Amino acid sequence: MSMQRPPARVIATAILWAAFGAASAQDADLEKEQRRLEIDTVAQTTIESLLSRNQGAKGLYDRAAGYAVFSATKAGFLITGGGGRGVAINKATGERAYMRMGTGGVGLGIGAQTYQLVILFETPAALQQFMDGGWDSSATAQAAAGQEGVAVTSSFIDGMAFYQITDKGLMAVADVAGTRFWIADALN
pLDDT digits (tens, 9 = 90+) for 99-141: 999 887 776 667 777 888 888 999 999 999 888 876 665 534 3
**CB contact at 8 A, 177 and 139:** yes
Mind listing the domains of the chain with CATH numbers? 51-187 (2.40.128)
CA angle 3, 9, 12 (to 5 degrees): 100
DSSP symbol at 34: H
pLDDT of residue 103: 82
User: Which residues pair with residue 89 across a beta bridge?
Assistant: 67, 96
What is the percentage of the chain residues whose pLDDT exceeds 90?
A: 34
Report the range of poorest mean pLDDT among 38-42, 76-80, 81-85, 167-171: 167-171
Where are any strands of DSSP class E within 27-90? 66-90
How far CA 108 is from CA of 28, 77, 80, 138, 142, in Å, comes to 41, 7, 9, 18, 11
Report the range of poorest mean pLDDT among 28-42, 73-87, 94-108, 165-179: 165-179
Taking residue 57's Cβ as centre, other Cβ atoms within 10 Å add up to: 24
What are the residues whose beta carbons fall under 8 Å from the beta carbon of 149, sequence distance 6 or more?
Answer: 165, 166
